[in-house]
Amino acid sequence: MKRGYKAFGTDEDGIATFYNNETGKMIDNPTNAQGRSPEWYAHHTWKMCRQRVERLALQGKDNPVFLCGGAANDEEVWDLFSRIVALIIDEATLKKRIIARTTNEFGKLPHEYASVLEWQKGAEAYYRRMNAVLVDATQAIEVVVDEIVEKVSKLARRVNELAAAVLPPKATAIVISPAYADLPRFDAQRVWAFPERIRRDSRQLFKSGAAGSAEAAWIGAEGVYKFCLYGGPAQDTLLASVSVTRSRAALARGRPDEKLARNEAFIAATRNPAPIGSGPGKIAISWSTGDGSFGRVYVSVEDQRVHYPANGAAAIEEMEQLHSKGAEFLLAPHNAFGLFERYPELKGHLDKRYRLLASEENTCLIYDLREAPDMVKG
């Protein structure tokens, strides 16, 4: 049943793959049972590629995007999600589903089967610790999907309601938030994200001339590469542009740029999106100013990743810098609790120095930053 949301699978859509533990390189999945021996698994781990998850998270800034599945490095990418949903089932149901399914061979071999059952024993406690939204997955799939959508929406609404009830009108608030999560919507004058969401752009000359073709053999898994053709007397008039990435979804967002072409000037990229592999992708850029005049092709890379503080002390410093700029309150929605796991010193700093205005289990914490530290007892 369709719900109108975009959904991707870690297995089916290439978000996760096996990595060699010694070299750190991506490898192809074994194609037969003999290749999936216990010895093979001892040297390889199923992981999500952070850069690929980041590209999905960028799509989720406009409309909800769901990523279904898991990997050994879940916690390394959880900061990119606005919500974590855990589908919980009992052991008997899990056994039946592994045996009955025909869409995935994993779990059919005895050692794989044993590993899945062993992991399942501690799964619910693990996800509770990470403050995930729990959903009973023994229900019919239509019921499970409806419950996921309802619980996620309900949590977001409750955070907004609590913030609106506690914060004064036109307040300035820091919101501790995963990288690509939407910030809560309440009647605040300013809402500042922590960690700060700073876009970093770089631009350099790629090639020049009236027309030509050149290879770009360094397309990385992260970022969007935008090639712009400039012409005119000072080569400052944008004639055409094309965006290149290793994500087909991100490419779709860049295609409208190609409509900027005028006077038959063009710029185009072959093999776009660039092939996904263990090394940089290779493409060819072709261009023409259309009238034989001199042109310049510049390439810019927009790095939209959130740059996290290096440690707890740096996290405290960044938060206090926002405080010194005028932040009056700090709000930590439930989906940000994982950052407290990452920076326990920050949580201790807040508890020691500032008054906790509101605390609702598994929903939200709100601190008052207006009081001087020596006014807070304890």
Dist CA 343 CA 347 (whole Å): 7
**Residue 76 pLDDT exceeds 50:** yes
What does the pLDDT look like over 172-192, one tens digit per residue? Answer: 999 988 766 667 666 666 888
Dist CA 151 CA 147 (whole Å): 6
Domain-embedded: residue 145: yes
User: Residue 249's pLDDT band (boundaries 50, 70, 90)?
Assistant: very low
Same domain, 53 and 107: yes
Q: Are 191 and 184 in contact (CB under 8 A)?
A: yes
Tokens read off for 311: 């440690």
Neighbour-count burial of 10, counting CB atoms closer than 10 A to its CB (0-12 exposed, 13-18 middle, 19+ buried): buried
Secondary structure of residue 92 in the 3-state scheme: helix
Tokens read off for 173: 């608030």
Same domain, 19 and 132: yes
What does the pLDDT look like over 305-326, one tens digit per residue? Answer: 567 888 999 999 999 999 999 9
More confident residue, 280 or 194: 194
Could you give the angle at the alpha carbon of 375 between the alpha carbons of 374 and 378, nearest 5°?
80
Closest by Cα among 286, 304, 299, 288 to 61: 304
Prior bond to 273 cis, omega within 30? Answer: yes
Same domain, 10 and 147: yes
Domain-embedded: residue 172: yes
Same domain, 106 and 245: no
The residue among 254, 285, 303 that closes a domain is 303
Domain-embedded: residue 349: yes
pLDDT at residue 60, as a whole number = 65
Same domain, 208 and 118: no
Average pLDDT of the chain is 83
Which residue in this structure is represented by tokens 């999945």? Answer: 29
Which residue in this structure is represented by tokens 């592994």? Answer: 98
Domain-embedded: residue 160: no
Same domain, 359 and 268: no
Domain-embedded: residue 161: no
The residue among 303, 323, 341 that closes a domain is 303
Same domain, 267 and 224: yes
Task: Among 59-68, 194-203, 239-248, 292-301, name the one with the lowest average pLDDT.
Answer: 194-203
Helix intervals (H) in the chain: 38-42, 50-59, 74-77, 91-100, 110-121, 123-129, 141-166, 248-254, 312-324, 337-342, 344-353
Provide the number of structural domains found in the chain.
Answer: 3
Domain-embedded: residue 51: yes
Same domain, 289 and 336: no
Say if strands 171-176 and 329-333 run parallel, antiparallel, or are unpaired.
parallel
Q: How far is CA 283 from the centre of its chain?
A: 25
**Residue 162 pLDDT exceeds 70:** yes
pLDDT at residue 226, as a whole number = 87
Domain-embedded: residue 162: no
Same domain, 216 and 192: no
Same domain, 29 and 125: yes
**Residue 253 pLDDT exceeds 60:** no
Q: Are 136 and 88 in contact (CB under 8 A)?
A: yes
Residue 246: CA count within 13 A, CB half-sphere: 24
Domain-embedded: residue 111: yes
pLDDT at residue 180, as a whole number = 62
Residue 235's domain spans which residues? 200-303
Which residue in this structure is represented by tokens 């190609």? Answer: 258
Same domain, 83 and 21: yes
Same domain, 207 and 333: no
The residue among 303, 338, 365 that closes a domain is 303
Task: Please give the order of strands across the beta sheet that includes 44-48.
Answer: 26-27, 16-20, 44-48
Q: Are 84 and 335 in contact (CB under 8 A)?
A: yes
What separation in angstroms does the CA of 203 have from each of 48, 240, 254? 29, 16, 17
Could you give the angle at the alpha carbon of 252 between the alpha carbons of 79 and 270, nearest 5°?
115
**Residue 355 pLDDT exceeds 60:** yes
Dist CA 207 CA 263 (whole Å): 20
Q: How far is CA 202 from the centre of its chain?
A: 21
